[in-house]
Structure 1
Amino acid sequence: MSMAKRTDPQSPAPHAADSHDLIRVHGARENNLKDVSIQIPKRRLTVFTGVSGSGKSSLVFNTIAAESQRLINETYSAFVQGFMPSLARPEVDVLDGLTTVITVDQQRMGADPRSTVGTATDANAMLRILFSRLGKPHIGPPSAYSFNTASVKASGAITVERGNKTKAQKATFSRTGGMCVRCEGRGAVSDIDLTQLYDDSKSLAEGAFTIPGWKSDSQWTVQVYAQSGFVDPDKPIREYTKKELRDFLYGEPVKVKVNGVNLTYEGLIPKIQKSFLAKDKEALQPHIRAFVERAVTFTTCPECDGTRLSEGARSSKIKRISIADACAMEIRDLAEWVRGLKEPSVAPLLTALQQTLDSFVEIGLGYLALDRPAGTLSGGEAQRVKMIRHLGSSLTDVTYVFDEPTAGLHPHDIQRMNELLLRLRDKGNTVLVVEHKPEMIAIADHVVDLGPGAGTAGGAVCFEGTVEALRAGDTITGRHLDDRTTVKETVRESGRALKIRGATANNLRDVDIDIPLGVLTVVTGVAGSGKSSLVHGSIPADEGVISVDQSPIKGSRRSNPATYTGLLDPIRKAFAKVNGVKPALFSANSEGACPTCNGAGVIYTDLGMMAGTATTCEDCEGKRFDASVLDYHLGGRDISEVLAMSVTEAEEFFGAGEAHTPAAHRILERLVDVGLGYLTIGQPLTTLSGGERQRLKLATHMGDKAGVYVLDEPTTGLHLADVEQLLGLLDRLVDSGKSVIVVEHHQAVMAHADWIIDLGPGAGHDGGRIVFEGTPADLIADRSTLTGEHLAAYVGG
């Protein structure tokens, strides 16, 4: 069948009678799904649409993909399953016709400092083999070029068999690794800024410590230093002798008596490292996290110059290029270098490496380098990196599941992504895509629209069929599919500016720019052009700037919107005040917790290799609280009933009457403002999508006294109908006196801007320059950049 014929979105679906050509879902009830029954055509591209929270991910990821993975895991032996994550069966009556599912989602690749783009794919492994074969001087096996492998020499015993006798014999083992000894393969060394720990003009008795929570008069920790005998508590720290300063900063742990009690004394540096730096930064309280970010500085390792590699690994070269040089190149340049290597002895290796590097370029990531830390990739970049291994795959009849593959893509790049998805389909695969962008919905063979609303108002299939039928239908998606925002007739004027001079972060080329304040400024450009480097890497992060990026929110299943936003505090106080009891009673993590399930609401049973079970706690019936706590009411509701409310319900509840609580009402208003009215306030954070988490972060910061808000693609995860609400929110922020700077690809946001800064013209070393600054109308009239061309087409359409 020709490509032209297969890409036609009107191509007929398989005959319903042929069950082998369908994935059948019957009675799906995961999360908010309401007994959904649906038939999805195989070997077609199906797009799932619907407002945020309508149930798309619950159907595609939590039902179809989850059950496929569970069934695959069951094919392994019990022994192997014991090493795999155990998965519970989704809430669904029937799932027929499943094939192997490969999920390509937007989950970040983790912030492990040792993980890079090269290690996350097979590229680094292939390069190490290449250099171990062709590198001059030859320094050893592939591990000699690995920054994750240390050089080890050890002695031990080995067992030698001679005839029917065995004998222990001493032996020396050695392993050659490429890890830099100084930074242990991290490329950076950390240092603690002592000025953030204490004021050296004061003595300990005068309160020299500036560490959060360390008070000189009452803190045991402080008294350990003051009464240790190692330093004079009445002498300013700057007057300490060398020995006093060494003991104060680096002293070994030792027992000392403080007010008659035996306590452990140790130097300030190791104490800080154990107390603050060994903990997950995201889990710290905001003021503690801010202290850690101020106190710890990271500098490039002077030994390896940030390459992470030992001197030996850096000295071995192929055509004057070391493995460190190769990993630092932009991948498109590295691909050309590898193409120029002609060595028959490693021909299969060169072919495989070439295909991997070409896949990066093809998917629009040629501007990355293999040494780029994986944790710094955006959600969209991470998703595309995960696609690399599938592009050249010979597998067919596989189901590929994508979560908003256009995230982070400039309109110019969306066409390329469309072509890749169609190519996967045309190899005989089923492609399921959760997406909001009309450019991607337009190429679908089949569309499933969920809704009609979000949360409890969603979870039903509103439409199934072709794109044309969707456009003619009466669903929210169909009505908004052809929405176009017009350019504003008048834009706000700015009299002030945030001045950036000589910005060189990542690929920026000595950029000078004045970002206007008091208006809505949108920063645009193709992926990799330098937008985030300019906005997140060059704008000084001070008290007046709030940056809301797409980094994940850390939290357990006990964390929820009420705990994350601080909403639960005024709610607990309101319950306590009305009932004359302690606020701690109304915390499922504290005194009010059900003693049977410890406030979890469920009892978890580990069944070893099999999927563990979570059964609703019989004592509290899943409400998480001790029965006595539920006897206390506020406005006729107990605390478990309040936590089961949607944000919209709770806003009304706490806005008037006996339950009127201004502090809680303000937070709930902000959650409604950012489009999260459908969330349940006690819903676990682990069930929120990336876009929902970003908007939750924005809501928490809206009460801050910041003057400048920096937002990174706030339309991620937003339905076409919700973008208008977001624009209204951005307008309200600006009209209230805030400055809003948005990194965005969505043309509706561009058209609504007061000022546009466009970076490019390309990505990586082809970008990093300001190619346009002015109003949206000027950009459209100018049409000198890719953004201008696409915005003109969007508005004109």
Structure 2
Amino acid sequence: MTTASTDRAASAMHPADRHDLIRVRGARENNLKDVDVEIPKRRLTVFTGVSGSGKSSLVFDTIAAESQRMINETYSAFVQGFMPSLARPDVDVLDGLTTAILVDQERMGANARSTVGTVTDANAMLRILFSRLGRPHLGSPQAFSFNIPTVRGSGSISVDRGDGKSVTAEFSQLGGMCPRCEGMGTVSDIDVTQLYDDRKSLAAGALTVPGYNVDGWMVRIFSESGFLDPGKPIRDYTETELHDFLHKEPTKVRLQSMNMTYEGLIPKIQKSFLSKDRDAMQPHIRAFVERAVTFTPCPECGGTRLNEGARSSKIRGLSIADACAMQISDLAEWVRGIDEPSVAPLLASLGQILDSFVEIGLGYLALERPSGTLSGGEAQRTKMIRHLGSSLTDVTYVFDEPTVGLHPHDIQRMNRLLVQLRDKGNTVLVVEHKPEAIAIADHVVDLGPGAGSAGGEVVFEGTVDGLRGSGTLTGRHLDDRARLKTSTRTATGALEVRGANENNLRDVDVDIPLGVLTVVTGVAGSGKSSLIHGSVAGREGVVSIDQGAIRGSRRSNPATYTGLLEPIRKAFAKANGVKPALFSANSEGACPNCNGAGVVYTDLGPMASVASTCEVCEGRRFDASVLDYRLGGRDISQVLEMPVAEAEAFFGAGEARLPAAHAILQRLVDVGLGYVAVGQPLTTLSGGERQRLKLASHMGEQGQVYVLDEPTTGLHLADVEQLLGLLDRLVDSGRSVIVIEHHQAVMAHADWIIDLGPGAGHDGGRVVFEGTPADLVAARSTLTGQHLADYVGA
């Protein structure tokens, strides 16, 4: 049906019918090709398709983004000035929108003051509870807050605002902060040998801290302060000079007619490095911090973050620190055991939050757990907590693969929660790959037919049964079932793990076979990551590819992230007899009008900034003179526009043959990213695409053991087979591969399975099975064995 005829049909609808639909016309965000779709309200709609087909572009970047933008516009211009600017999605018509609540996989900010308890209001309720019932009585709830210092008077402090980020808050009462660690729970010790080479002078480049260059301002303040001799080796400093160099309090000094602040190296590093989110640091800075700084539990508060007073007040023998350290499922039972009518409403609300954790499969967590340590799946389910008890109806809930990180046993529980939200009268939109989650859909929208430029179209709309018989890629693979291996590889050795007790592990002893594909399984919270990342990942020769997010701006792309751009720039420079810097849009080759961004942003104050394609470079990002230089008949912008698969062929033979670039591109093809453009901004890649980009980057490292954490995240059913082929090639090349995984197809393909459990939290932490997949299925002695047996039809 054409767009015009569709619109005529829509206009002929009864008005009540039109209000029961979210209508999208002409959606063009990212790779979407004028997509038209109608989504029923108060139903559960699942969006399917291969990674990169346009699911997130339609659901998150179009529908949810416009809903949030329109809500923001209801506020005054003054208020909007304090809110993030949201551009209007590239779409012709969006009709029937309701308030959208996003529950995505974005990890919570790693603010050191943010915990599971602070982001869900559980901590706030506990503080009120202890302020009412705790003995000895301390007064206000603030006396139990590790974010408020034990100081009378007024002032301000940075505290968690509930999503892992911080805001500045005023305080005027006694707080519960431990004075030694300032509520952080840890104290840091800096290894000064990692800060400087004491054989050298400042002028000779003694400082080894990132950014402290000899001719930079940081070093010049030290050298020209008058406190130190810049030509004197640090090992020859007097006691006073060494103190001034390392520990001097902030002091005003005069440098080149300017007033500057001189401060000792150690407090300067503490302020500039240790106060920042380590996950957001550039790799070389993070490596420096990990090398130079050690963090240990605070000796005064024992890591609880609270002062002695807060720890002394108790209810039924437990302090608030004890309560926050408990497994949430146990804490819920403890709260139910408190019989005090005066706080009955508070107990009911707190109990509801804690029960929601258990209901959603996170009962194994503790409220003291730092929010930045949660996996993407755990973060997403934690965000769900605040919505489960909500009385709101006619809201649009948007979920991004809510089954990520869930064992097959837990997926049914998640399905019940999604249906529960729908049955309250809400519209539920879910981006998913798992057949078990697709099965509960009232309506399915399948995008494709391929990924990237080969996708961006709606190839099917209808019921799950209709999808199954549609002939689309998703439909053909919906009922895929793996077969158990008829033969498995023989181990060439073993990695010994002895007495592993990190988190919930119970002195685990296990031999992880080498030379084979080992899959580590178990329900969420059973101890899989604790075992592998805690006892294996840090060893020599082990390459660990975890679920940490790839951070990058619009200027970051696969070429910059993988190091591919460097050999390409050098090849262009050599072929044309010019400098490599010309072929970087972030350096000398940048278009002067847009500074290499490809777009020009117009600031409209409180309204959303408008981004328009640069008229000078037409979005190519480079100065026109740079595009006169060629390699193999292509200019640098044309190379960056190539899909990875095309670039792999381009640099693999002929005039442009470049082995260093070809090797990187081959790895990108191997992980299924052949359709992604070499210069495509990282900000436009889906979560699954970013994960595989990370995998491809690490594959170039010279390791003998590869550790992968849920590599099927974001993968379509049809792509799992390609991933298994990649894992086989790694093993066949002589490497050992260890995979933490919930996908049954990966389990069935393993040579060896290590199953942890039997449950989560303190109900887990033990090895409950070791052996081949066939033996696991035959025994059916664990939850994993039972679900794998059902999956393979045994």
TM-score, normalised by the number of residues in structure 1:
0.90
How has the CA–CA distance of structure 1 residues 253 and 308 changed in structure 2, closer, same or farther, with 3 Å as cutoff?
A: closer
Structure 2 residue identity aligned to 1:639: I
Counterpart of 2:511 (choices 510, 514, 517) is 514
Could you list the per-position Cα deviations for residues 246-265 of structure 1 after superposition, in whole angstroms to 9, with x for gaps in the alignment? 4453346789999xxx9998
Distance of 1:249 and 1:150 partners within structure 2: 27
Please say if residues 537 and 707 of structure 2, whose CA atoms lie closer than 8 Å, have aligned partners that are also in contact.
no
Counterpart of 1:677 (choices 632, 657, 674) is 674
1:319 equivalent in alignment to 2:316: yes
Please say if residues 603 and 615 of structure 1, whose CA atoms lie closer than 8 Å, have aligned partners that are also in contact.
yes
Counterpart of 1:438 (choices 435, 439, 442) is 435
Question: How big is the shift at 1:760?
Answer: 0.5
Partner of 2:91: 92
Number of residues of Structure 1 aligned to a counterpart in Structure 2: 764
Partner of 2:167: none
724-733 or 242-251, larger mean C-alpha shift: 242-251
Counterpart of 2:404 (choices 398, 407, 416) is 407
SS at match of 1:464: strand
Counterpart of 2:525 (choices 515, 524, 528) is 528
Please say if residues 140 and 176 of structure 1, whose CA atoms lie closer than 8 Å, have aligned partners that are also in contact.
no
Distance of 2:615 and 2:791 partners within structure 1: 56
How has the CA–CA distance of structure 1 residues 399 and 696 changed in structure 2, closer, same or farther, with 3 Å as cutoff?
A: same
1:52 equivalent in alignment to 2:51: yes
Counterpart of 1:351 (choices 340, 348, 351) is 348
Please say if residues 402 and 433 of structure 1, whose CA atoms lie closer than 8 Å, have aligned partners that are also in contact.
yes
How has the CA–CA distance of structure 1 residues 19 and 513 changed in structure 2, closer, same or farther, with 3 Å as cutoff?
A: same
Could you list the per-position Cα deviations for residues 577-620 of structure 1 after superposition, in whole angstroms to 9, with x for gaps in the alignment? 11111110111111111111111111112212211111111111
SS at match of 2:58: helix
Please say if residues 106 and 379 of structure 1, whose CA atoms lie closer than 8 Å, have aligned partners that are also in contact.
yes
**Aligned pairs for 1:258-277 within 5 A:** 267-270=264-267, 272-273=269-270, 277=274
SS at match of 1:716: coil
Distance of 1:213 and 1:356 partners within structure 2: 44
How has the CA–CA distance of structure 1 residues 310 and 666 changed in structure 2, closer, same or farther, with 3 Å as cutoff?
A: same
557-566 or 488-497, larger mean C-alpha shift: 488-497
Question: How big is the shift at 1:109?
Answer: 0.7
How has the CA–CA distance of structure 1 residues 229 and 149 changed in structure 2, closer, same or farther, with 3 Å as cutoff?
A: closer
Structure 2 residue identity aligned to 1:192: I
Counterpart of 1:180 (choices 178, 181, 192) is 178
Distance of 1:213 and 1:428 partners within structure 2: 54
Partner of 1:383: 380
Question: How big is the shift at 1:482?
Answer: 1.1
Distance of 2:214 and 2:148 partners within structure 1: 48
Counterpart of 1:189 (choices 178, 187, 205) is 187
Distance of 1:306 and 1:541 partners within structure 2: 24
Distance of 1:216 and 1:562 partners within structure 2: 28
Please say if residues 214 and 222 of structure 1, whose CA atoms lie closer than 8 Å, have aligned partners that are also in contact.
no
Partner of 1:721: 718
722-731 or 703-712, larger mean C-alpha shift: 703-712
Distance of 1:586 and 1:216 partners within structure 2: 26
**Aligned pairs for 1:175-574 within 5 A:** 175-197=173-195, 211=208, 237=235, 243=240, 245-251=242-248, 267-270=264-267, 272-273=269-270, 277=274, 281=278, 286-539=283-536, 541-574=538-571
Please say if residues 210 and 288 of structure 2, whose CA atoms lie closer than 8 Å, have aligned partners that are also in contact.
no
Distance of 2:690 and 2:303 partners within structure 1: 33
SS at match of 2:111: coil
Q: C-alpha root-mean-square deviation of aligned residues, in Å?
A: 3.0
Question: How big is the shift at 1:277?
Answer: 4.9
Distance of 2:148 and 2:280 partners within structure 1: 30
Could you list the per-position Cα deviations for residues 291-332 of structure 1 after superposition, in whole angstroms to 9, with x for gaps in the alignment? 321211110011111111111111111111111111111111
Question: How big is the shift at 1:287?
Answer: 4.6
762-771 or 86-95, larger mean C-alpha shift: 86-95
How has the CA–CA distance of structure 1 residues 535 and 446 changed in structure 2, closer, same or farther, with 3 Å as cutoff?
A: same
How has the CA–CA distance of structure 1 residues 60 and 255 changed in structure 2, closer, same or farther, with 3 Å as cutoff?
A: closer
How has the CA–CA distance of structure 1 residues 767 and 635 changed in structure 2, closer, same or farther, with 3 Å as cutoff?
A: same
Distance of 1:16 and 1:445 partners within structure 2: 22
Partner of 1:82: 81
Runs of 5+ consecutive residues of structure 2 not aligned to the other structure: 1-12, 156-170
Runs of 5+ consecutive residues of structure 1 not aligned to the other structure: 1-13, 157-172
Please say if residues 196 and 209 of structure 2, whose CA atoms lie closer than 8 Å, have aligned partners that are also in contact.
no
How has the CA–CA distance of structure 1 residues 322 and 505 changed in structure 2, closer, same or farther, with 3 Å as cutoff?
A: same
Question: How big is the shift at 1:469?
Answer: 1.5
SS at match of 2:37: strand
1:604 equivalent in alignment to 2:585: no
Structure 2 residue identity aligned to 1:183: C
Please say if residues 205 and 216 of structure 1, whose CA atoms lie closer than 8 Å, have aligned partners that are also in contact.
no
How has the CA–CA distance of structure 1 residues 155 and 107 changed in structure 2, closer, same or farther, with 3 Å as cutoff?
A: closer
Question: How big is the shift at 1:405?
Answer: 0.6
TM-score, normalised by the number of residues in structure 2:
0.91
Distance of 1:728 and 1:385 partners within structure 2: 34
1:35 equivalent in alignment to 2:30: no
Please say if residues 105 and 403 of structure 1, whose CA atoms lie closer than 8 Å, have aligned partners that are also in contact.
yes
Could you list the per-position Cα deviations for residues 513-557 of structure 1 after superposition, in whole angstroms to 9, with x for gaps in the alignment? 111122111111000001111111222514412111111112111
Could you list the per-position Cα deviations for residues 193-242 of structure 1 after superposition, in whole angstroms to 9, with x for gaps in the alignment? 23444677x676999969378999999989998998868988894x9775
Question: How big is the shift at 1:750?
Answer: 0.6
Question: How big is the shift at 1:491?
Answer: 1.1
1:735 equivalent in alignment to 2:771: no
Distance of 2:560 and 2:396 partners within structure 1: 38
SS at match of 1:772: strand
Partner of 1:164: none
How has the CA–CA distance of structure 1 residues 317 and 475 changed in structure 2, closer, same or farther, with 3 Å as cutoff?
A: same
Structure 1 residue identity aligned to 2:339: K
Partner of 1:169: none
Counterpart of 1:710 (choices 707, 712, 722) is 707
SS at match of 1:388: helix
How has the CA–CA distance of structure 1 residues 283 and 97 changed in structure 2, closer, same or farther, with 3 Å as cutoff?
A: closer
Distance of 1:349 and 1:520 partners within structure 2: 51
Please say if residues 45 and 442 of structure 2, whose CA atoms lie closer than 8 Å, have aligned partners that are also in contact.
yes
636-645 or 214-223, larger mean C-alpha shift: 214-223
Q: Report percent identity of matched pairs.
A: 77
Please say if residues 187 and 307 of structure 1, whose CA atoms lie closer than 8 Å, have aligned partners that are also in contact.
yes
How has the CA–CA distance of structure 1 residues 352 and 101 changed in structure 2, closer, same or farther, with 3 Å as cutoff?
A: same
Counterpart of 2:683 (choices 686, 698, 719) is 686
1:642 equivalent in alignment to 2:639: yes
Distance of 1:286 and 1:185 partners within structure 2: 27
Distance of 1:126 and 1:306 partners within structure 2: 21
Partner of 1:794: 791
SS at match of 2:620: coil
Structure 2 residue identity aligned to 1:644: E
How has the CA–CA distance of structure 1 residues 350 and 232 changed in structure 2, closer, same or farther, with 3 Å as cutoff?
A: same
Partner of 2:695: 698
SS at match of 2:654: coil
Distance of 1:246 and 1:300 partners within structure 2: 27
Could you list the per-position Cα deviations for residues 706-729 of structure 1 after superposition, in whole angstroms to 9, with x for gaps in the alignment? 111111100000000000000011
Distance of 1:349 and 1:276 partners within structure 2: 40
Distance of 2:675 and 2:47 partners within structure 1: 20
Question: How big is the shift at 1:398?
Answer: 1.5
Structure 2 residue identity aligned to 1:182: R
SS at match of 2:87: coil
Distance of 2:759 and 2:306 partners within structure 1: 31
How has the CA–CA distance of structure 1 residues 768 and 233 changed in structure 2, closer, same or farther, with 3 Å as cutoff?
A: farther
Distance of 2:77 and 2:270 partners within structure 1: 42
How has the CA–CA distance of structure 1 residues 236 and 352 changed in structure 2, closer, same or farther, with 3 Å as cutoff?
A: closer
45-54 or 14-23, larger mean C-alpha shift: 14-23
